[in-house]
Amino acid sequence: MSDSERVRTIIETQTGYQWTDHEEEANLVGILACSVRQKAIDKVYSRITRWNKWKSRRNLITFISGCILPADMEKFLKLFDIVFRMSELEKLPEMIRHYGVVTPASLFGDLKRMPSNDSIDDFWRITPHYSSDFEAFVPIQNGCDKFCTFCAVPYTRGREVSRPSAEIIQEAQQLVEQGYKSITLLGQNVNSYGLDKKGEELSFPQLLEAIGKMGEDSEREFWVYFTSPHPRDMTDEVVEMVARYRCLARQFHLPVQSGDDMVLIHMNRKHTVDKYRQIIHAVRRIIPEATIFTDIITGFSGETEEQHTNTRLMMEEFKYNMAYIAQYSPRPGAASSRWADDIAPDIKRRRYHELSNDLRKHALVHNTDMVGKSYRVLVTGHDRKPGYLSALTEGKIVCRFAATEVALIGKFTDIVITSATDFSVEGERVAVAELTTGN
């Protein structure tokens, strides 16, 4: 989201192109790719094949950027008109203007090298056109040093580089002054923030503290989230900062990936289940009301039934509010792609359903416990149920309530929860939302 907002800003302000929601009528189309899953890259090939067919019928320039492996990058150079690294975004208008005059082949040699973040500072300095007027994403870090074996990001985005804290705090402050209610600090491993500039830059807890103080000084109501932290660098200090400052939302997304130490070694996660357990205990001890989300990969190469059972036992122990569960698929470029994808699809599906059912059971207990209680929520839009609006609690539990006033969208209001399902709750509004700016 943060990347696309910056790309849109550059295009709209420096090229004269205007945004359209209709792909069929566009003269400039592009993709910000994600290499985390092979499916996403497969979709890129499908989309560019279609666009290249359209070219015979109308004037169309295509571009691609984002998280791309060098091998895919070489193929994309043949398929797309413009290929660039996100750190080179400032050059995009020039590339578009020069389209048809020179090819981006001048970048070819550079693109084939291992990724570097030499120009990422330029990217961060671009003031984005935010796609929402109440929630925004602020990049605080680029790249990854962790080398999880299932992931290709270290090979596509390069090493961890922390954005200057002064820029982050300034962007967050401007968003708050503009009335934004939800700000998410983004990075591959947000809690490794500052470790690449030790002694010269704030640590992640210090960054949270600075944003927390800014929030207190502003006297405005807003929630700041961060995603996603890596368990290896997670400390009690981070949790304590969230507890100390009211604008730091009491919601933690803590990817665990597996509940088995052997699988975690195989994934090169650099943490054990016990280390992760200590983090969960710290969250529960310091902020009992916090919600906890996670990411899990099931059916990883060589995962035994016993190891899968250990993940289920972990879910039983930690009782997540939400888990993003993915069936393992090898990503070319990631270390695990060299190993056999030896868990049969039907077994992966069965394990996925078992974990999903475990999650549903625990989430329902959490959500049922909310019934009868009052919650502050941020109204995010129209709900699929006619006559209802959709909202999120501070803990990111989806909530809907009967209302049709569009003016409520992007505002806080109070809801008493009346019923619960596994992944959402329903409630009634108990107070008129504060509609003046700043709340």
Partner 1 sequence: MTQPTTKIPLATQAITVQETRNLTPTAYVLRFDRHQREFLAGQHVILGIKDENNAREYSVYSGENDEYFEVLIKEVLEGDVSRRLKKLKPGTQLQMDGPLGFFTLRPNEINTARYMFIASGTGIAPFRSYVRSYPQLDYTLLHGVRYSNEAYERDQYHRDRYILCTTADTNGDFNGRVTDYLRQTTIDTATQYYLCGNVKMIHEAFEILAQKGVATENMHAEVYF
CB of 342 to partner 1, least distance (A): 14
Degrees to nearest 5, angle at CA 173 with 171 and 176 = 110
Question: Which of 23, 42, 118, 317 touches partner 1 (CB under 8 A)?
Answer: 118
Token duo for residue 433: 């939302």
Q: Does the protein bind partner 1 through residue 179 (CB under 8 A)?
A: no
Q: What residues from 39 to 78 belong to the interface with partner 1 (CB under 8 A)?
A: 70-71, 74
Q: How far is the CB of 154 from partner 1 (least distance, A)?
A: 9
Work out the burial of residue 333: count CB atoms within 10 Å of its CB; fewer than 13 is exposed, 13-18 middle, 19 or more buried.
buried
As a whole number of angstroms, the distance between CA 380 and CA 397 comes to 12
C-alpha closest to that of 290 among 301, 279, 275, 299: 279
Under the binding rule (CB under 8 A), the answer on residue 159 touching partner 1 is yes
- Give the nearer residue to partner 1 in terms of CB position, either 160 or 358: 160
Q: Quick one: which of 232, 244, 312, 382 contacts partner 1 (CB under 8 A)?
A: 232
Element (H, E) at 306: helix 305-318
**Alpha helix stretches (DSSP H) within 163-304:** 165-177, 204-218, 236-244, 261-266, 273-286
Closest CB to partner 1 among residues 244, 277: 277
Query: What minimum distance in Å lies between the beta carbon of 222 and partner 1?
Result: 32
Name which position in 78, 109, 288, 384 contacts partner 1 (CB under 8 A).
Answer: 109
Closest approach, Cβ 378 to partner 1, in A, equals 36
Peptide bond into 228 cis (omega under 30): yes
- If the CB atoms of residues 53 and 113 are measured against partner 1, the closer one turns out to be 113
To which residue do tokens 């969960």 refer?
280
The answer to whether 288 contacts partner 1 (rule: CB under 8 A) is no
Close Cβ partners of 43 (under 8 Å, ≥ 6 residues apart): none
Measured over the CA atoms of residue 307, residue 309, residue 313 and residue 319, the dihedral's sign is: positive
Among 19-27, 191-199, 343-351, 415-423, which window interacts with partner 1 (CB under 8 A)? 191-199
The answer to the question of residue 112 lying near partner 1 (CB under 8 A) is yes
Query: Which of 114, 402, 432, 435 is close enough to bind partner 1 by CB under 8 A?
Result: 114
Q: Looking at the chain, how many residues does it have? A: 439
Number of residues that bind partner 1 (CB under 8 A): 37
Residue 142: helix, strand or coil by DSSP?
A: strand
Single residue of 53, 57, 198, 384 touching partner 1 by CB under 8 A: 198
Contacts with partner 1, residue ranges (CB under 8 A) = 70-71, 74, 109, 112-118, 145, 147, 149, 155, 158-159, 161, 195-198, 232, 261-262, 265-266, 268, 270-272, 274-275, 335-336, 338-339
